[in-house]
Amino acid sequence: MNRPALGAAAARIFGYLRGLHATHYLDLGVRMGLFSALAEKPRRAEALARDLGLHAPYVRGFCEMGHHLELLDRDGETYSLAPEMDRVLAAPDDTFFLGGFPRVHLRVAQDYELYPELFRTGATHSYQEHPQGFLQDVAGASRSLPRMFLDVAAEKLPDLVRRLEAGGRLLDVGCGAGHALVTLAERFPRLTAVGIEVEPVSAGMARSLIRSRGLEARIDVRDAWEPASDFEGAFDVVTQFLVLHEIRPDLKDDVLARCARALRPGGTLVLFDEAYPEDDATARDPIRGFAVVAQWFELTWGNVINSRSEILALVARAGLRPGPEAELSRFRIVTGLKQ
């Protein structure tokens, strides 16, 4: 018996189980306002419970668990958020707010009850078949992604930023709840945009968001590529935010060809998505290899996450030449340029 190896194997399993409970912990801390309260000022557990009207022994347990997870720091009996956790867990309008993702992953985990039967039959349970609340949670959690994209684009894709600043027209394919459309329109006031969204709940959320921001004159949401004359050669930039991997594999070439036809000469296609690892080292990297995890929890949705090489091949087959690329945490930005 190799006791060190056995101990390491057991520790790995318990580490993964710890992660399950950490996800529930994060969700509770966001929903109950515990992280937000600690972002305002450090507190003792009893004071935190009193200020939020919660049961003090449970709040003490929350604080001790947060300290164990290195999400909270402790000075004697006073707890505070660890560095940068205020932005990540307690600032919904911050570019790097991730507080909505634990709820999404807890929702996703409900699919695992279906896995045994789906593994036997090979059937799928698509994203669109999930309940409305799931779609709303995904939309809420993902609203920070366009802001992250713009932060990276400003540094690594300056030509694209200059194009957006100059105005023109943008098409967002698979616009979801409209957060990318609104973020781009508000950041670039000379820009007009069209979104395509075939999922009706998401399209409704997008239209409501656009109305709430007073952007109806600059943003339109369609539920199809129709009429075709409205799309051919009509846009300076075409974007997809976490959409490519959701397109049926047998339809990806056709969709990207449509995107290419929608571009004016000199236009840019922007694909913001995950890229499946192409080597063992990347596959085991906790950040760059997260696409393996995403492919796992979207496995029965029918989604396929492409590798960088496959994405570049799709862009080339659409008749576009490869443009600048960038990485953002677990995401890759690939661009294609129309001659």
Q: Is residue 56 part of a domain?
A: yes
Residue given tokens 């049961």 in the structure block: 55
Residue 247 lies in a domain: yes
Cα–Cα distance measured from residue 32 to residue 54, given in angstroms and rounded to the nearest whole number:
9
Do 181 and 64 have their domain in common? Answer: no
Nearest-10 Cα torsion for 201, 207, 209, 211: -150
pLDDT at residue 227, as a whole number:
83
Q: Are 51 and 92 in contact (CB under 8 A)?
A: no
Q: Tokens for 201, please give them.
A: 């709940």
Q: Are residue 87 and residue 146 in the same domain, yes or no?
A: no
Distance CA 193, CA 181 (A): 7
Residues 240, 331 within the same domain? yes
261 and 134 share one domain:
yes
Nearest alpha-carbon partner for 287 in 328, 335, 325: 328
**Under-70 pLDDT residues of the chain:** none
Same domain, 87 and 132: no
Q: What six digits make up the tokens of 165?
A: 């600043």
DSSP code for 76: T
Same domain, 142 and 259: yes
333 within some domain: yes
For residue 206, which phi and psi values (nearest 5 degrees)?
A: -65, -45
Select from 91, 113, 148 the last residue of a domain.
Answer: 91
| DSSP H or E stretch at residue 85 | helix 85-90
Give the pLDDT confidence score for residue 265 in this predicted structure. 97
Q: What is the pLDDT of residue 156?
A: 86
Single-letter code of the amino acid located at 114: L
Residue 82 lies in a domain: yes
Residue 171: closest CA among 250, 270, 53: 270
Would you state the pLDDT for residue 152? 80
Could you tell me if 38 and 75 are in contact, meaning their C-beta atoms sit under 8 angstroms apart?
A: no
- What CATH number does the domain containing 164 carry? 3.40.50.150
Radius of gyration in angstroms for the set of CA atoms belonging to the chain, rounded to a whole number: 22
Domain count across the chain: 2
Read off the tokens for 318: 């659409």
Residue 72 lies in a domain: yes
Considering the domain architecture, whether residues 186 and 307 belong to the same structural domain is answered as yes
Same-domain pairing of 309 and 174 = yes
With respect to residue 319, please indicate whether it lies within any of the assigned structural domains. Answer: yes
Q: Do 249 and 162 lie in a common domain? A: yes
**CATH code of the domain covering residue 44:** 1.10.10.10
Instruction: Look at residue 164 in the predicted model and tell me its pLDDT.
Output: 93
Residue 24 within any structural domain of the chain:
yes
Q: Which two tokens stand for residue 302?
A: 């029918």
- Asked if 75 and 135 sit in the same domain, the reply is no
**Contacts for 302 with CB less than 8 Å, ≥ 6 apart:** 124, 126, 248
pLDDT of 122-163, one tens digit each? 999 999 999 999 989 998 888 889 988 988 887 888 989 999
Same domain, 178 and 73: no
Q: Are residues 51 and 134 in the same domain?
A: no
- DSSP secondary structure of 107-153: HHHGGGGTHHHHHHH-----GGGS-HHHHHHHHHHHTTHHHHHHHHH
pLDDT of amino acid 29: 99
Instruction: Establish if 98 belongs to a structural domain.
Output: no
Of 91, 118, 144, which residue constitutes the final position of a domain? 91
Which helix (H) or strand (E) segment holds residue 94: the answer is none
**Where is the domain boundary, 73, 91, 109?**
91
Token pair 């846009």 is at which residue?
Answer: 235
Element containing residue 169 per DSSP (H, E): strand 168-173
Range of the domain at 148: 128-337
Give the per-residue pLDDT at 153.
80
